[in-house]
Chains A and B, each alone.
Chain A
Amino acid sequence: MKCEDVSKDLIAYLDGQANSSDRRRIEEHLAGCPACRSRAEEMRKVSVLLGELPAIEPSFGFDARVRQRVAAEPQRSWFWRLVPPPRPAFAMALLVALTVLVAKLPTHKTPATTTTVASAQQQEEDFNAIKNLGVLENYDALTKFDQMTETAAATPSAQPDGKAQQSDESND
């Protein structure tokens, strides 16, 4: 057995906590190795020296300070006291149950939904009406709409004549 192999169990041996086979193994080594024997003896003395350290006593107000801090701990509300631990698991189970409950609720058409459908139908009808307007197909009317409006506003008295002329042309 090498010296390094002894080191791992040496403290347990000195404590009397080594098992019988380890104890025998270590004793055999120590009997034949003065260096390890000396080291083991010095470690035993170290243990005795550590035992010489005096203990300190808690200060006078220690208990009172702990009790004060414990008393200052926030108490849980009555609701949380009713919730059984573990609380995260309980909260998760509650969330799942609520989700399932909401998913199983019967679906109704709400007034808002009806309004939305009606509005969409109205928009489609308006679009069809505008789409079929002849004026939209008349490019000139669209591009010259502003000019025509200004001309009409500038010569209000000419309108009857214009109408008559238009009427004549149509008769031709």
Chain B
Amino acid sequence: MARTDVELMLDVKAGDDSSFDFLLQKYRSPLINFLHRMVRDTATAEDLAQEVFLRVYRARKQYTPSAKFTTWLFRIATNLALNSVRDNRYAKLAVPLDAPVDEDSAPMELPAPVMRIDEHMIERDRAEFIRRAIASLPEKQRAAVLLHKYEEMDYGEIAKILDCSESALKSLLFRAYESLRVQLAPLVTQPVEQRAGEGRPS
């Protein structure tokens, strides 16, 4: 039977480093993706993710299972990401939506084998457009959307991570999605059926 995250962390606390390795394998991708969407820089996201795991390891002896492990983990990650963004160390976050696309800033994404190169470029531009829309949100709204949409956390957990009430979180999310609706209007108003079928080989 698979051990829960809390059980794994208690094992780490007892000195079992293999359990820490298990948690590392399980959460490295979600953490790196979350941090990448927060800071929009792959190297920085990996540095911050390393720091998150290091802090978890350092705090192992004081760990008490008072909350879900993911709440604790993403709270550390969110705080680190917010500090990084607020420190203005990642000035590229302030790039306006109409700025030219920086080819180097996008992470490497290989095209699907069935996709032609022009289709890949369209998909890549779309992805970049969406990334920029997310990046244009105020950082707390951005964190709320990322935890809500990509980590699929419930409102209670996100509220704990962001240190706010559930009611405040709902307002935060509404404002964030409202901004995204405006930012992504060119894509939103495009019929989904048209996008799904456009340019694809039959």
Contacts and interface: CB of A to CB of B under 8 A. Distances in A.
Contacts of B88: none
Given A8-B171, A53-B130, A62-B28, A17 B149 contact: no
Q: Is the interface of A mostly helix, strand, loop or mixed?
A: helix
A100 interface: no
Q: Is the interface of B mostly helix, strand, loop or mixed?
A: helix
Nearest to A69: B54
A112 B36 CA distance: 71
A46 B188 contact: yes
Measured as residues with beta carbon below 8 angstroms from the partner, the interface class of chain A is 35 or more
Measured as residues with beta carbon below 8 angstroms from the partner, the interface class of chain B is 35 or more
B192 A45 contact: yes
B95 to A, nearest CB: 17
B52 to A, nearest CB: 9
B60 to A, nearest CB: 10
A49 B107 contact: no
Interface string B84-109: 00000000000000000000000111
Contacts of B173: 11
Interface in A35-77: 39, 42-43, 45-59, 62-63, 65-67, 69-70, 73
Interface of A: 7-12, 17, 39, 42-43, 45-59, 62-63, 65-67, 69-70, 73, 85-86
15 contacts: A8-B171, A11-B170, A12-B155, A47-B149, A49-B184, A50-B134, A50-B150, A56-B32, A56-B42, A58-B29, A58-B46, A62-B50, A65-B46, A70-B17, A73-B54
